[in-house]
Amino acid sequence: MLKLPIYLDNNATTPMDPRVLEAMTPYFLEHYGNAASRNHPFGWEAEEAVDYAREQVAKLIGADPKEIIFTSGATESDNLAIKGVYEMYASKGNHIITVTTEHKAVLDTCKHIEKIGGEVTYLEVNAEGLIDLKELEAAIKPTTILIAIMYANNEIGVVMPIKEISAIARKHGVLLFTDGTQAVGKIPVDVNKDGIDLMAFSAHKMYGPKGVGALYVRRKNPRVKVTAQMDGGGHERGMRSGTLNVPGIVGFGKACELCRLDMEEDTKRISKLRDHLETELLKLEEAYVNGSREHRLPHVTNISFKYVEGEGLLMGFNKNIALSSGSACTSASLEPSYVLKALGLGDDLAHSSLRFGLGRFTTEEQIEYTIKAISETVLKLREMSPLWEMYKEGIDLNTIEWAAH
Amino acid sequence: MAYSEKVIDHYQNPKNVGTLDKSAKNVGTGLVGAPECGDVMRLQIQVDDAGVITDAKFKTFGCGSAIASSSLATEWLKGKSVDEALKIDNMAIVEELNLPPVKIHCSVLAEDAIKSAINDYRVKNGLEEIKFAESVVH
């Protein structure tokens, strides 16, 4: 029997894998020590658990365990990386290069940097959601200290050419920070093969608990340092003070291990479901995939259904299917998704988009239900849409003088 | 955000979806909003010789609250005289549908659509266009 509601918002967060919870439980009730307590078994057990988790996390991304700094999540890691590099390398320069489609945790941190005297270049993306590498190289100046470009985008799943980007960064002696939140655990990420100097990622996007994440900070070739943004007991090699969230870290470690072991099989299964979903939904007239389909995460698709509005569309099934929309109405602001707009989509298409994030626990039955429910709702709403009627009558909507409000 | 039951009901069973002959002299059409803003409403009224609205239809591109606001507006319009219809206030729609503050603009749009349809009807029938104060929201 199909159980409702169906969860297809795995880019927002993932359910926790029961195996992760199982690993965590003893660290709440029995082994509750503070990992920084050096003088008794409770502390030793906690420290050992953290060390083990650090190895599990490091192994997933091909890093050395000493290069993993535990944080409260990707937002904190983004802040620590950008602000930490900005402060640490102040004598070298004050210029940062990033991209307009980054997550707000990166964009708003960059805005903060500008406020305190830094200079930031925001690269634009093409219709596929990808940057122009020549433009990136041309943007580098003698004062550039950091390139901050995400590994994969949270709204459209587009994967950036990180290897090519890091080659450019290396050539000019600039550090590369990548927000790996959506990519790590989903596709192979290797900090050495990819040439990454700093990387943020989070447990709850890979079937681990919320409230724990990491910042990878390279220790060799080059040795990278960041100025701590949280002062205190000098935890995490002085880069991030604060008592370690031991159960969370244990869960994070387990989640990383499971992703490493299951990735190949998960990807095969999930991408097949995603492709099926996409193929079926694209059979509807005037439906378009947003962003590159070639350079993309295996579990994500973002589709615009022209002439129906995203929130209205969601309402047709959101009791039974959890999805998100690029429409303004779903958020507090009245602007539709800035990521979709950066691809050059008109506001109308941005308003008409749905983001599908499949996951480890998505089933074929769920996808069949989703295809049917969405197709029916799109058809029903188009019957109700004045824009659809005009389109069908051959009226070019751009020729109409809309009373913008 | 949770929708009120009335909004859900109008969304699931919208009243008076459709199209009237916009070239007919006794039909007034109002098209308001813009695709870029995520909502477009088209509201039409059919008026008899006595100035009574005998039929009303809508089509809306927008969120559930926008659909519900226009559906409700067409229900209220039917049987009213054109002069009575002019008195329909957006806040009455807000109240009836329990719209939260972020959705008040949907009711404003519905009021605008009514006025715009009435003006279209008036102009077609040699009457003067009514000048309305600019709506506050949007």
Residue A67 in contact with residue A218, Cβ under 8 Å? yes
Encode A50-68: b = buried (16+ Cβ within 10 Å), e = exposed. bebbbbbbbebbebbeebb
- In this model, does residue A403 exceed pLDDT 80? no
- What order of strands is seen across the sheet that includes strand A95-99? A68-71, A213-217, A198-202, A175-179, A144-148, A95-99, A119-123
Of B106, B110, B117, B118, which is the active-site residue? B106
Q: Do B61 and A402 touch (CB under 8 A)?
A: no
Pairing label, strands A144-148, A175-179: parallel
pLDDT at B137: 47
Instruction: Give the ranges where A116-161 is alpha helix by DSSP (H).
Output: 133-139
User: What's the average model confidence in pLDDT over A301-330?
Assistant: 88
Number of structural domains, chain B? 1
Is residue B63 annotated as part of the catalytic site, yes or no? no
E runs forming strands in A130-232: 144-148, 175-179, 198-202, 213-217
Average predicted confidence (pLDDT) for chain A: 95
Is B37 part of the annotated catalytic residue set? yes
Residue B72 domain-assigned?
A: yes
Burial (CB < 10 A; 0-12, 13-18, 19+), residue B131, is exposed
Q: How confident is the model at residue A325 (pLDDT cuts 50, 70, 90)?
A: confident
Closest CB from A307, A329, A348 relative to B36: A348
| pLDDT-flagged residues of chain B (< 50) | 137-138
**In whole angstroms, how large is the CA radius of gyration of chain B?**
14
User: To probe the interface with B, which of A313, A397, A405 has the most B CB atoms within 10 Å?
Assistant: A405
* B64 within some domain: yes
Cβ–Cβ pairs < 8 A, chains A and B: 90
| Complex confidence, ipTM | 0.93
Give the CATH number, domain containing residue B94: 3.90.1010.10
Topology of domain A18-259 in CATH is Aspartate Aminotransferase; domain 2 (3.40.640)
Of A145-154, A297-306, A362-371, B125-134, the poorest mean pLDDT is in B125-134
User: For A302, how many CA atoms within 13 A lie in the half-sphere containing its CB?
Assistant: 30
Classify strands A213-217 and A198-202 as parallel, antiparallel or unpaired: antiparallel
Interval A76-92: pLDDT, tens: 999 999 999 999 999 99
Q: How far is CA B69 from the centre of its chain?
A: 7
Give residues with Cβ within 8 angstroms of A397, minimum separation 6.
Answer: A348, A387, A390, A391, B35
**H helix runs in A233-325, sequence order:** 246-281, 310-315
User: pTM to 2 decimals?
Assistant: 0.93
Is B102 in CB contact (< 8 Å) with chain A? Answer: yes
Give the distance from CA B112 to its chain's centroid.
Answer: 7
Q: Please identify which of the residues B24, B34, B37, B127 carries the catalytic annotation.
A: B37
Mean pLDDT, to the nearest integer, of A205-227? Answer: 98
- Kind of pairing, strands A6-7 and B39-47? unpaired
Pick the CATH number of A6-11+263-398 from 3.30.565.10, 3.30.70.3340, 3.30.479.10, 3.90.1150.10: 3.90.1150.10
Range of the domain at B53: 5-124
In this prediction, residue A333 carries a pLDDT of: 58
Residue from B71, B62, B70 nearest B113 by CA: B70
What is the rounded radius of gyration, in angstroms, for the C-alpha atoms of chain A? 22
DSSP secondary structure string, A186-197? TB---TTTTT-S
Q: Look at B35 and A403 and tell me if their CB atoms are within 8 Å.
A: no
Which residues of A are identified as catalytic? 329
pLDDT of A330 over the 50 cut: no
Burial of A390 per CB tally in 10 Å (0-12, 13-18, 19+): buried
Residue B27 lies in a domain: yes
- Asked if B90 and B107 count as a contact pair (C-beta separation under 8 A), the reply is yes
Cβ contact A384–B138 (<8 Å): no
B83 touches chain A (CB under 8 A): no
Contact present, B58 and B19 (Cβ < 8 Å): no
Spans of all domains in chain A: 6-11+263-398, 18-259
